[in-house]
């Protein structure tokens, strides 16, 4: 992981893009993992604007549980 960077420098994320790297963006209360998208579309539940970001390794995919079989009616 890298050090936190002030969000005003978000447009610089283009130069930090690498395969297997995503960006962790935080507003102090909430965190978002995203690719470099300028301008960054924020989730609707974010009331406070982002404060900082950093490059982090992309999380490994998780396998979900199998879908249960249908129940006969």
Query: What pLDDT score was predicted for residue 55?
Result: 95
Q: Look at residue 5 and tell me whether its pLDDT is greater than 90.
A: yes
The pLDDT of residue 70: 86
Strand (E) or helix (H) holding 13? helix 13-16
Q: Judge whether residue 2 has pLDDT over 90.
A: no
Q: What is the pLDDT of residue 63?
A: 81
| Selected residue with higher pLDDT from 73 and 33 | 33
pTM > 0.75: yes or no = yes
- What is the spatial order of strands in the sheet that 52-57 belongs to? 5-6, 52-57, 21-26, 31-34
When pLDDT is cut at 50, 70 and 90, the band that residue 38 belongs to is very high
């Amino acid at each position: 992981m890298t050090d936190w960077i002030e969000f005003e420098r978000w447009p610089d994320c283009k130069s930090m893009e690498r395969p297997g790297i995503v960006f962790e963006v935080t507003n102090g209360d909430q965190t978002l993992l995203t690719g470099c998208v300028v301008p960054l579309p924020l989730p609707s539940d974010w009331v406070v604007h982002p404060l900082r970001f950093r490059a982090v390794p992309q999380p490994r995919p998780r396998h979900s549980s199998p879908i249960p079989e249908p129940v006969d009616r």
